[in-house]
Structure 1
């Protein structure tokens, strides 16, 4: 029996990935009345189901992997674009950063206890110190708490839990000595900071006018400009030997600065277009591809490897969740503190990205990588729901007549 030509394999994979992209929100909607499950969990789960781990209907190809890289870059662009630095600057950001440093140190320490080799320990430390800001912000908005003191604290935690790991990845896995990598990283941060500074000072009147003129035409100047800024900073970070997600995150921050003085209505339209490109096309491919690459056989190869999943879930709560309390608003009630722990311990995108690096470079086994990703999926599935329950309990208590 002859095997299918590569182009046929690609065609089948593309159609099936597109099908899964449609099936995931339908499945989420079907179960919405019973339990609210993040769509990301369905995307990864369906990728596992149809991928080599189970049915074997979809295989990763170079083209789908490239689309997945664009997807994760777009995810971090959106994260950088959504952070309102004016609300988290000062104590919220400083306390969140301090909590992340503690989490990273504790995570690396736990890594040394679990795996041999410093590189593997750092991979585990970065994974356990991450926070899924891109997944948490929409949840906070839907709950109406994004601008509350708790929402500001969670945003600061998420910013530290995404930007911090990106810096760590760029320092330790750039292929350079840490000293040289640090100099390059500082240079990139300074360059980006200068660009953001001048962008914040300029009025961008002609730029905004062009955005307004083309919002509803085939020119789509705003979207094309986004792709230019994103591509330029991603390529710059790669040329410098830094992680490409650092460039994507910086591109989101820069775009938000450029559009800060644009008409509010135009900003909302552009945000809608960004969401359409990101969450309607590229980001689902990233998570589905992560499911396709998920090595279920390695995870279930031994009881010891499978037992790592609940262990990593517990470590996320301890190592990432507890230090998150440093960012707790003054006078926060116990319910909000518990919610802060749960939101801070919610992680997945960085876990997927850093374990892929570790697996590709032979630093960690496929079993450990799959256990970490599995723990990240569980955290994304359970922790935000549990945190919302804590917030709603507080809201119900406040609503009772005194």
Structure 2
């Protein structure tokens, strides 16, 4: 199939997926992402063989991943991700990294273990926050703690990718990372500076016109940070995440009344077009034959799924804030163990570097897809039962 035909097929899936999620969700709340990936697998080369590959599709998929990480970075509320909760989040992730690298190397060897161990420490911030937002649980105490844990679970692996998986000497990677941090700090300083009145006026004036100054500025910030990270030889996901943080500071500082509406426009562009392309292409490129060949890959899938819980979930459970008990603590563990976007990115790097085989990559991505399907669903059930017993979410404060 031509690239234009494949794009039509991908966007058809993007339209069909929320309809299926809505219909089935009335009985069983299943993440939209699952439908996008499964339908991508269905039309991919290992099943129906309808979807083709091409440079345009790959580029759109890469932009979709960048937009997903950008929106995840934007979601972080600095006034909540700080203090004791932030320390606990960082501590939990560092323990997970040590455990992941150790178990990954023991399971698959030193070279492969670095890729697998890093992937096991990730949390799908975008997917988790979407589930909590749809459930009306994002602004609760639980949602705020989950935001902190997820933010570190997203940002930490991106840093680890830069330091461990770049192929450069650790010292040089550290220098480049420090240079990027300085440039990002400069951008943050610029973002925090008071904007002149004309800036806010132009945002308000063009918000509902063809000018769309604010939306274009957001896209420019994303492009600049992607370009900076690429020029330094760093993973572009680092630039996307930093762009989300900077954009939040700019919009909430210059146009606080319009920030929500501007974000809605950017989310429409992201979740309406680019992000679904990424997830559907993930399904299309998924090596189903390698997974179902009946060999090692199929045996590794449940092992990796369990490792997501053990490596990422247990440290979160152990270091969760003291005021979260019982069902909340278990739900937090499940949500934190949910992974996918960075798992796809890390396994893609591993396969391209000819370190990871397609079998290990398929098993790891398959386990991540199952984590998105199962863990949030069980976590929501735990939270739902707690709320039904009389918990007042509005009373939870920091």
- Check whether TM > 0.5: yes
Q: Distance in 1 between matches of 2:140 and 2:209?
A: 38
Residue 378 of structure 1: aligned partner: 370
**Bigger shift: residues 55-64 or 136-145:** 136-145
Give, in angstroms, the shift of residue 327 of structure 1: 4.4
Equivalence map 1:10-159=2 (5 Å): 10-118=3-111, 120-159=112-151
Give, in angstroms, the shift of residue 331 of structure 1: 2.8
**Bigger shift: residues 135-144 or 294-303:** 135-144
Q: Distance in 2 between matches of 1:63 and 1:263?
A: 35
User: In structure 2, do the counterparts of structure 1 residues 207 and 175 end up closer, same or farther at CA, with 3 Å as the change threshold?
Assistant: farther
Secondary structure of the structure 2 residue equivalent to 1:282: helix
Alignment of 1:333 with 2:325, yes or no, is yes
Alignment of 1:303 with 2:275, yes or no, is no
Residue 395 of structure 2: aligned partner: none
- Is residue 76–residue 249 contact of structure 1 (8 Å, CA) maintained in 2? yes
Alignment of 1:391 with 2:393, yes or no, is no
Q: Distance in 2 between matches of 1:53 and 1:204?
A: 56
- Is residue 52–residue 292 contact of structure 1 (8 Å, CA) maintained in 2? yes
Equivalence map 1:254-333=2 (5 Å): 254-333=246-325
Once the two structures are superposed, residues 117-171 of structure 1 have per-residue CA deviations (whole angstroms, 9 ceiling, x without a partner) of 32x1111011110001111112222333323322121111111110000001111
Residue 172 of structure 1: aligned partner: 164
Give, in angstroms, the shift of residue 85 of structure 1: 1.4
Q: Distance in 1 between matches of 2:198 and 2:38?
A: 46
Secondary structure of the structure 1 residue equivalent to 2:25: coil
- Is residue 204–residue 258 contact of structure 1 (8 Å, CA) maintained in 2? no
Equivalence map 1:225-264=2 (5 Å): 225-264=217-256
Q: Please give the TM-score of this superposition, normalised by the length of structure 1.
A: 0.94
**Bigger shift: residues 47-56 or 206-215:** 206-215
Give, in angstroms, the shift of residue 21 of structure 1: 1.1
Once the two structures are superposed, residues 277-313 of structure 1 have per-residue CA deviations (whole angstroms, 9 ceiling, x without a partner) of 0000000001111111100111122333102111111
- Is residue 149–residue 329 contact of structure 1 (8 Å, CA) maintained in 2? no
Residue 216 of structure 1: aligned partner: 208
Residue 367 of structure 1: aligned partner: 359
Gaps (5+ residues) in structure 1?
A: 1-7
Q: Distance in 2 between matches of 1:217 and 1:99?
A: 46
- Is residue 321–residue 344 contact of structure 1 (8 Å, CA) maintained in 2? yes
Give, in angstroms, the shift of residue 385 of structure 1: 1.3
Q: Distance in 2 between matches of 1:399 and 1:11?
A: 51
Q: Distance in 2 between matches of 1:47 and 1:115?
A: 29
- Is residue 194–residue 253 contact of structure 2 (8 Å, CA) maintained in 1? no
Secondary structure of the structure 2 residue equivalent to 1:147: coil
- Is residue 150–residue 329 contact of structure 1 (8 Å, CA) maintained in 2? no
**Bigger shift: residues 307-316 or 262-271:** 262-271
Aligned length: 392
Give, in angstroms, the shift of residue 11 of structure 1: 2.0
Q: Distance in 1 between matches of 2:282 and 2:301?
A: 17
Once the two structures are superposed, residues 257-286 of structure 1 have per-residue CA deviations (whole angstroms, 9 ceiling, x without a partner) of 001134444112111101110000000001
User: In structure 2, do the counterparts of structure 1 residues 263 and 222 end up closer, same or farther at CA, with 3 Å as the change threshold?
Assistant: closer
Residue 199 of structure 1: aligned partner: 191
- Is residue 88–residue 321 contact of structure 2 (8 Å, CA) maintained in 1? no
Q: Distance in 2 between matches of 1:111 and 1:233?
A: 32
